[in-house]
Amino acid sequence: MTSVQNRQPLSSGNKLSFFVVLALLLVSVSSCELFKPAVDPGSGRTENTDDPRRSQDEDELDPVQSRRVYDPSTGTYVYIENTPTDKMDTIRWTVVSEERNPPIIEEGGNDFVPNNPNDPTQGQGQGTGANPIDQVGTTPEGSRLLSGYNIDFVLPFLTDRYLGSEDEVDPNSLWSLHFYSGAKLALNELRNNAQVNYNVNVQDSRANETRVQSIVASPEFSQSQITIGPYLKNNVTTLAEAVRGKETVLISPYSASGGVSQNNPNYVQVNPTLETHMRALLQHAYTTQGADRIVLVTGTDPNQKARLGYLQDEFKILSGDAEVEPLEEIEVDMNNAETSLLEYMGGRKTVFIVPIYEDESFVANFLRVLYSETRDDFGRSIAVYGLPQWIDFTRINFDYYEGTNVHVSSSVFIDKLNPAVREFRRKFFERYAALPRDEAYVGYDVTRYFLRMAAEHGTRFQYALEANPEDLMHTRFRFQPVAVVPTDAADFEQATLDRFENKFVNILRFRNYSFKRVN
């Protein structure tokens, strides 16, 4: 057995003596050591930490610093609300060469590095840039295959609005800047992989028709095989008429207007027209909703009612009966407080198609009424179809979108979970230190697709578009020739080719408080 000595607990008197001794010790140490000036152990000198003339070679202060600091400009001490606790980074500015990031200039210029800069044959043949262009073959359809192609970008950079003293560029320039930034990423890939050369010329349209006319008169434009741009409808018309009958194809990436240039097979429209959007809405509703009632809705504006003709024509095609009874049409006055839609919701399911994009108040009130009349009755099944502008509306309660099963059409949809999209975002950010807007994806897709089509199918590549569909990051390309039948024609055989148009439209459904593609 091991004997262990028992320790007696301290009495209250012993505790009191212990704390008195400890207090006296702290007081004596504080008065003698804690508040003494710091002494340099090497030199034995007393340091004055408040001296502003203290040498910079001496030891640095601890990370936790006083809020009271010396201001040499005033010779006084000031208090700082937020003092840094970590070591501060040092900013080192680096001037980026203009060869790497050339500035946008008004006069335009070649913006593409040739594949073989040391080739002694550079400068021979036709071409606006450093790469020579010669014919290397002909396709069975009679399209000329070239060793290189001249590409013109005509975009509204609006450089005339930036004088250099502003803190930021004009917001209206962002469309072009992002579009062309995405295009440059595609050009870099084509330069590394393609077997043909591309001479790229960039012009600032300034969103000005006079400026565009001067671009048309330039020798660079007359030698181009592909022109991409511009933005405004009147400027698109000017360029479309300029390429009519020539060996130049105009690619319009933005304009959704119809009637830009009639009977012009050199005009390619990437953005579907309003007519195509409405036909796509009806096709999706007719084939997927299983509705026994489709109602076309307009306000009191006559222009809105005129749009219903496209939907009625498409309904005849879908039904396969030219004599089919037309779809129901209703004109709703949202200024009437007694407006009700209950009478149109009998049956299994009702689809409301609302082709209105210019009146957010009408759309908001229509969805509000529909939502209030259906949210308590889960037996009713409804769906509402609208146009792309609804995505940007800001005064509509999202519960209305969710509760009325809203679908909209859109020419652009970026799926952030798509691996290709994520890779593009990474490359774009690494190159430009900014996140890409939707226009950057469009610029990349358009440039990559059409330059590849020219390389494979020659100068008349537009006639091969229909046979070459492709799924891209921002949409799918399903180009079709658009035929126009003259008013005095006896039958459809007298129809003429008007243009080529992308007929694919993204259909987005609002679900779980976000839009998702459902086609």
- Non-local CB neighbours of 340 within 8 Å, separated by 6+ positions: 369, 373
Neighbours of 279 (CB within 10 A): 22
* Distance in angstroms (rounded) separating the CA atoms of residues 376 and 435: 43
Cβ-contact 148, 197 below 8 angstroms: yes
Neighbours of 343 (CB within 10 A): 7
Residue 149 three-state SS = strand
Token output for 49? 């930490």
- Non-local CB neighbours of 243 within 8 Å, separated by 6+ positions: 227, 249, 250, 264, 266, 267
Cβ-contact 112, 220 below 8 angstroms: no
Residue closest to 442 by CA, chosen among 155, 187, 181: 181
Which domains occur in the chain, in start order?
Answer: 97-272+411-505 (3.40.50.2300), 274-410 (3.40.50.2300)
Question: Would you call 320 exposed, middle or buried from its count of C-beta atoms within 10 A (0-12, 13-18, 19+)?
Answer: exposed
The CA-based angle 208-214-217, given to 5 degrees, is 145
* Distance in angstroms (rounded) separating the CA atoms of residues 139 and 195: 17
Query: pLDDT tens, position by position, for the chain (519 residues)?
Result: 444 444 444 444 454 444 444 444 444 444 444 444 554 544 455 445 454 444 444 444 444 445 565 666 676 766 655 554 555 556 565 665 656 555 555 445 555 444 444 444 443 344 444 578 999 999 998 899 999 999 999 999 999 888 776 677 888 899 999 999 999 999 999 988 768 999 999 999 999 999 999 999 998 899 999 999 999 999 999 999 999 999 999 999 999 998 899 999 999 999 999 999 999 999 999 999 999 999 999 998 888 998 999 999 999 999 999 999 999 999 998 888 788 888 888 778 999 999 999 999 999 999 999 999 988 765 568 999 999 999 999 989 999 999 999 999 999 999 999 999 999 999 999 999 999 999 999 999 999 999 999 999 999 999 999 999 999 999 999 999 998 877 666 666 667 899 999 999 999 999 998 999 999
* Distance in angstroms (rounded) separating the CA atoms of residues 147 and 12: 103
- Its pTM stands at 0.76
